[in-house]
Amino acid sequence: MSGGELIIVRSLANSDMGLFSSHRKGATSKQRAIALTEPAAEQLLAPSTFAAKRGELDCICLYGDVTNREHRLVNKAGKNWRLGGRQLGGEIFAELDSKDFALLRSVRHNDGSTPVLMTFVGRRSQRLVQAGLVQTLKDALRQSVAVFMDSSPDFDALAELFPSVPARLAVRGALHQSALL
C-alpha cells in the first residue's frame, strides 16, 4: 500500500443503478456494480490487485441514515472495471438517479486492508452539494469518472464535504456487522 489519499467521483449511469435494490426492477443493466475507469482502478488498487484484475475491498457505504459495511469485489470484466457486490437495500436509494454521484475515498493503492468509504450524493435530497459537485467536476470527468489525489487543488474542497472513514466505523471490531446493515 502506498501513501496518500484519493477521492474517486463517479457520475452514476443507468448501468450503475442495478446496485440498488430499489432500482433493480427498472434497471436497464443487471450488473450490481459501480463502473470505474482503468486510470481510477490503477490509482485505487494495489499494483498486485490491479495486475490480477481482481480483489476485494472493505467498503463502508453511507447514504442518509443507511450504513452498510461488507467486502465488495473489484474486478475487470472485459474492458471495464467494476466495484460490486450485494445490492444496497433501503428505500432511500430510490432517491438516486443517473447523473447523481458516487464518491469513493480511500488510501492510494489500497490492498484491501484499509476501508474504503463510498457515499452517494443525490440531487433530490442534497441539491446544494450536488450543484457544487457539478461545478467542481465540469472539466474533470473522463468517461463519467474523476480522480482527485490529495495533492490536487480540488481534493481539500471535496474532503471537507466528504470526510474520511469515521473512526467508529474504521475499526471492524467496534461495531457488529448486523448493526451496520
| SS3 annotation, 32-96 | CEEEECHHHHHHHECHHHHHHCEEEEEEEEEECCEEEEEEEEEEEECCEEEEECCCECCHHHHHC
Residue-wise pLDDT tens digits, 109-146: 999 999 999 988 888 777 777 777 877 788 888 999 99
pLDDT at 168 over 90: no
What are the boundaries of each domain within the chain?
5-160
Dmax over Cα atoms in the chain, in whole Å? Answer: 41
Its CATH class, for the domain covering 5-160, is mainly beta
Q: Distance between CA atoms of 121 and 96, rounded to whole angstroms? A: 8
Collect all residues with Cβ–Cβ distance below 8 Å to 63 and sequence separation of at least 6.
88, 90, 92, 93, 96, 119, 120, 122
Percent of the chain whose predicted confidence (pLDDT) is above 90: 41
Residue-wise pLDDT tens digits, 14-53: 888 888 876 656 555 567 889 999 999 999 999 999 999 9
Note if the pTM is more than 0.75.
yes
pLDDT at 167: 56
pLDDT at 178: 39
pLDDT at 125: 76
pLDDT at 174: 41
